[in-house]
Chains A and B, each alone.
With several copies, the nearest count.
Chain A
């Protein structure tokens, strides 16, 4: 399986976590981004994610390779969801195993921070009241 993936179906968190297991891994850190019921003071009742899949996969793989070069880790897996998501669904999952916890925390944080900043994926928020909107945060 690829270290970075895009999934149009619910992310299989348990299966991904099992991929991190390794005899030398003393530390496993996982991050789950979930659909919240609010954002910027507005009540949210769902999200749609759209990706430029070809480039998203290439950029995600690049981020994972950077994390492997920077931190002493065993395995890294990251999957981002696309399509329509209900409240509470997992939008993005990142897991890292490492010999020691410092590297596992740092690599997991690096991957999710870079994915959010660089990977061509866009979020459309659906509100309890009002029309849905695409979010383009850097353009604010």
Chain B
């Protein structure tokens, strides 16, 4: 399936891009992160991240649909 991924803050630095289109056999959020984290060398484990699909927070067991926008969110530091 095809996904659009957005990267922010240190994940953007680690990925070397702010977004990318990926083609993957992963069909849930957790599997997709495992694949992406391995490829980019992300040091965060899922316990340290939140995840959003199509602009809304969701959980790691969320099933994905073709063309979903998926974002792994490192710990926030606004304010």
Contacts and interface: CB of A to CB of B under 8 A. Distances in A.
Genuine A/B complex: yes
Interface of A: 33, 49-52, 54-56, 58-59, 80, 91-92, 112, 115-124, 134-139
A58 B77 contact: no
Given A55-B71, A58-B55, A139-B44, A121 B10 contact: no
A120 B8 contact: yes
Q: Is the interface of B mostly helix, strand, loop or mixed?
A: mixed
Contacts, number: 80
B13 interface: yes
B9 interface: yes
B76 to A, nearest CB: 6
A56 B6 CA distance: 14
User: Would you list the 5 A-B pairs with minimal beta carbon distance, nearest first?
Assistant: A121-B78, A122-B9, A138-B75, A116-B79, A135-B77
Contact of A52 (B8, B44, B48, B77): B8
B72 to A, nearest CB: 11
B52 A49 contact: no
B74 interface: yes
B77 A134 contact: yes
B74 A136 contact: yes
B74 A55 contact: no
Interface in B10-61: 10, 12-13, 44, 48, 50, 52, 55-57
Nearest to B73: A120
A116 B78 contact: yes
**Residue of B6, B13, B76 contacting most chain A CB atoms (<10 Å):** B76
B8 A122 contact: yes
Nearest to A53: B55
22 contacts: A49-B78, A50-B8, A51-B78, A52-B6, A52-B8, A52-B71, A52-B73, A55-B57, A55-B71, A119-B76, A121-B78, A121-B79, A122-B76, A123-B78, A134-B9, A134-B74, A136-B9, A136-B48, A136-B74, A136-B76, A138-B48, A139-B48
